[in-house]
């Protein structure tokens, strides 16, 4: 049975009618046209589908849309402001912290959540905070470098 659900996505109030158990990822990509969030494993284990729900990182592939009803969601598309990239996006570009790019949006979201919670993370805290995001190309050294750079940028 479908239900009308209201979300605030990247600062814009949106209404969708969907099965309450439908994955948030599907609604974002198929109904709202926000394709930056990627489908990876479909089990919430790889982090490619990460979005911020009320500021907390969640795997959108296993998060039912009903859990987002009345809440604020930020996707990779919502990080930049106009033509200005978010400091985490800038740092990932500068550090070359992507190879195939498939995991990048989830990595950027995870790094953003981490740095918004902890603006001065140690390397160990970065590794722990990013641990649920997988990079099949094994770009972890550059990803760590990018998160360090982003932390510095965000403190300025």
Residue pLDDT, tens place only, 91-143: 999 999 998 999 999 999 999 999 999 999 999 999 999 999 999 998 999 99
Distance CA 44, CA 61 (A): 6
Expressed as residue numbers, the domain containing 15 is: 3-78
* Residue 7 and residue 62 share a domain: yes
* Residue 148 and residue 129 share a domain: yes
Q: Is 131 exposed, middle or buried (0-12, 13-18, 19+ CB in 10 A)?
A: exposed
Report the CATH number at residue 10.
Answer: 3.10.20.30
* Residue 58 and residue 101 share a domain: no
The whole-model pTM stands at: 0.95
Domain end among 78, 103, 126: 78
Residue pLDDT, tens place only, 40-95: 999 999 999 999 999 999 999 999 999 999 999 999 999 999 999 999 999 999 99
């Amino acid at each position: 049975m479908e239900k009308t659900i209201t979300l605030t996505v990247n600062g814009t109030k949106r209404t969708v009618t969907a099965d309450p158990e439908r994955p948030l990822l599907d609604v974002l990509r198929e109904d709202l046209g926000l394709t930056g969030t990627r489908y990876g494993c479909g089990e919430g284990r790889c982090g490619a589908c990460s979005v911020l729900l009320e500021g907390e990182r969640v795997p959108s592939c296993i998060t039912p849309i009903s859990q987002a009803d009345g809440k604020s969601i930020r996707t990779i598309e919502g990080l930049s402001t106009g033509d200005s990239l978010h400091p985490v996006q800038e740092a990932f570009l500068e550090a070359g912290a992507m190879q195939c790019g498939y995991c990048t949006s989830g990595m950027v979201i995870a790094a953003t959540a981490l740095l918004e919670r902890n603006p001065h993370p140690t390397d160990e805290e970065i590794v722990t905070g990013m641990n649920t995001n997988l990079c099949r190309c094994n770009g972890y050294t550059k990803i760590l470098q990018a998160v360090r750079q982003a932390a510095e940028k965000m403190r300025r």
